[in-house]
Structure 1
Amino acid sequence: MTAARFFVEGRVQGVFYRATTRDKALSLGLCGHARNLADGRVEVLAAGPEAALDALEAWLWQGPALARVSAVRREAAGPDAVGEGFVTG
């Protein structure tokens, strides 16, 4: 299992970004979390197969219809930092 942390910038808060990210992650078989950051970004931590993480990253650039994503930054994360299921916070 591989894990990655994504930082998503743009109009990504108040547009159901975290909820739809959870739905997409679960459909890909990933576990982790999505949370709003104080600086306006969304942090997504996810773990699972590399191909599923790549698919999630591609989806993060689009997000829900009301989102306007300007950047997605990906960094490696330890899989032990990820719990079961996928939660938003």
Structure 2
Amino acid sequence: MAARRLRIHGRVQGVCYRDWTERTARSLGLSGWVRNRMDGTVEAVVAGSAEDIRRFIALAHDGPPAARVSHIEEREETESGFDGFQQRATE
């Protein structure tokens, strides 16, 4: 089991990016969470197999049709023990 914290930059708010993230993560069997940030980015923590996380990150560079991702910051994450995948409140 691995986990990554992602910060997605670009046109990612107001384009259903969180809904897309939740659906895509669940379809890959990942757990974790996603939320908007006050600075206009989207933050997510995804946990699961390293292969599924890599696949998710590759897909996240495109996101939903209206999104325009400029770049994704990623780092290892120690938070774990998620029950499914959920959306969290903006922070």
Aligned to 2:82: 83
Q: What's 2:20 paired with?
A: 20
Gaps of 5+ in 1: none
CA distance in 1, matches of 2:55, 2:67: 18
Partner SS state of residue 35, structure 2? strand
Q: Which amino acid aligns with 1:2?
A: A
Inter-partner Cα distance in structure 2 for 1:29 and 1:77: 18
Q: Which runs of 5+ in 2 are unaligned?
A: none
The 2-side partners of 1:49 and 1:78 are apart by 14
Contact 1:16/1:64 (<8 A) preserved: yes
Task: After superposition, give the CA deviation of every residue in 1:4-62 in whole Å (9 maximum; x if it has no partner).
Answer: 00100000001000001110000100000010001000001010000000001001100
Alignment of 1:1-89 (within 5 A): 1-80=1-80, 82-89=81-88
Number of residue pairs aligned between Structure 1 and Structure 2: 88
Deviation at 1:79, TM superposition (A): 4.3
Identity percentage over the alignment? 40
Q: Is the 8 A contact 1:2 1:79 kept in 2?
A: no
